[in-house]
Amino acid sequence: MAKSVNVRMHAQNKSGESGTAKLTPQGADKTRVEISLKGGPKGTPQPAHIHEGSCAKLDPKPKYGLENVVDGKSSTVVPQGIDSVRGMAINVHKSADDLKTYVACGDIGKGGGAMKKGGGMEKKS
């Protein structure tokens, strides 16, 4: 079975919001995505998505919607195995009214290894 992946979520647009996203396999065809951010607004829902591409070159159309980040936390099960979302990026928006402003982003790495400064990933058992 595939292993969990930790993704660094880096602040975007001087938001001050950063943290991690943990992707955990839920069988062969589902993945739990748990986002944990610090520095965000209290009580304001922030939309989050998985997009094709990387934080540096993000496809603006979301591939998978995630539960809103509220008070820095979000947990969603997406209908794809963990290997299917590798090479994509997790992105968090400022608010439902300001979807154009990204506040945090992390690249889901394609392979093994340590987290990279630009996003990256790390395998965990």
Q: Is residue 83 situated within a structural domain? A: yes
Our count of domains for the chain comes to: 1
Report yes or no on 125 lying in a domain.
no
Query: Which domain range does residue 41 map to?
Result: 4-115
| Model pLDDT, residue 69 | 98
The answer as to whether 84 is a domain residue is yes
What CATH number is associated with residue 53?
2.60.40.200
The predicted structure's pLDDT at residue 28:
86
Q: Is 53 part of any domain?
A: yes
pLDDT at 117: 39
Per-residue model confidence as pLDDT tens for the chain (125 residues): 578 999 999 999 999 999 999 999 998 899 999 999 999 999 999 999 999 999 999 999 999 999 999 999 999 999 999 999 999 999 999 999 999 999 999 999 875 433 333 444 333 33
pTM summary value: 0.85
Residue 15 lies in a domain: yes
Residue 1's pLDDT is 57
Beta strands in the chain (DSSP E): 4-11, 18-25, 31-38, 46-53, 58-69, 73-78, 88-95, 98-107, 121-124
